[in-house]
Amino acid sequence: MATPVLAIIVPCYNEVETFKYTVETLSAILNEQVEKGHISADSYMLFVDDGSADDTWNLISGVSSVQPRVRGLRLSRNFGHQYAVMAGIDAARTSCDISISIDADLQQDPRAISDFVGCYKNGAEVVFGVRRARETDGFFKKFTASGFYSLMKWMGAEVIPDHADYRLLSKRAMDTLMLFEEPHLFLRGLCPMLGFNCAPCLASRVTLSNSMYLNAVMARLNTR
């Protein structure tokens, strides 16, 4: 198998506070994986600005102009997390062999990226980042998470328990995903339906900062 070109897709919404740390952390991981020969030197990060109201796009644009492994995509408005991930996949799939989507706050442990690539080299075309444990979750969060997965199963949706949107897709999986024309995207439900060899990959949850997407959603709910 040829050394794959990896695109790390990072949806961003008002990420000024986390952006510098995210770029530095992912750059170090990319450099390490390139040095070890696990991925191609042409691998890169694609930051998708999902209509941020702060200076996120200017930061992306500035860094991408001086760092060849940083690229940016700016959406015309705030479409939402799932659509930002999908736009990133669509933009990257012609210039990479595999993509890994990860949230900008890096609460999904980015150190697992090397394990994702290992799963791909062992034959998996879809790799799901599965949360290792929920010791830090309170009773309410554990209860609602369990209820969510039970509801999805009852509705007939194939959803991987304790998996968010931290996943690897091969080029073939990315191309197939683009054939779906769902008006309301739910990637956790679509990706298991792609029909390719799948593998779970355990990843810890790292509490580094508050999720900007979660804050935005909660703010909208509180105003209703």
Q: CA-to-CA distance for 51 and 191, rounded, in angstroms? A: 25
Residue 148 and residue 67 in contact, taking contact as beta carbons nearer than 8 Å: no
The two tokens of residue 12 are 């961003």
**C-alpha to C-alpha distance for 210 and 15, rounded to whole angstroms:** 10
Report the C-alpha gap between 98 and 23 in whole angstroms: 19
Q: What's the confidence (pLDDT) of residue 197?
A: 94
Question: How many angstroms separate the CA atoms of 104 and 18, rounded?
Answer: 7
**Gap between the Cα atoms of 89 and 191, Å rounded:** 12
Calculate ∠ Cα 33-61-98, nearest 5°.
Answer: 35
DSSP labels, the chain: -PPPPEEEEEEESS-HHHHHHHHHHHHHHHHHHHHTTSS-TT-EEEEEE-S-SSSHHHHHHHHHTT-TTEEEEE-SS---HHHHHHHHHHHHTTS-SEEEE--TT--B-GGGHHHHHHHHHTT-SEEEEEE---TTS-HHHHHHHHHHHHHHHHTT----TTEEEEEEEEHHHHHHHTT---SS--HHHHGGGS-S-EEEEEE-B---S--HHHHHHHHHHHT-
pLDDT on residue 202: 82
- What is the structure's pLDDT at 158? 65
Full pLDDT tens readout for the chain, 224 residues: 789 999 999 999 999 999 999 999 999 999 999 999 999 999 999 999 999 999 999 999 999 999 999 999 999 999 999 999 999 999 999 999 999 999 999 988 999 999 999 999 999 999 999 876 545 545 555 555 455 445 555 455 566 666 678 999 999 999 999 999 888 888 888 888 898 999 998 887 665 444 444 444 334 433 33
Please report the pLDDT score of residue 212 as a whole number: 46
Token pair 């691998």 is found at 43
User: Bridge-partner residues for 203, per DSSP?
Assistant: 131
Q: Cα(219)–Cα(86) distance, rounded to whole angstroms?
A: 24
Supply the Cα-derived Rg of the chain in whole angstroms.
Answer: 17
pTM (predicted TM-score): 0.82
CA 172 vs CA 4, 25, 45, 87: distances in Å: 13, 28, 20, 16
* pLDDT at 183 (0 to 100): 83
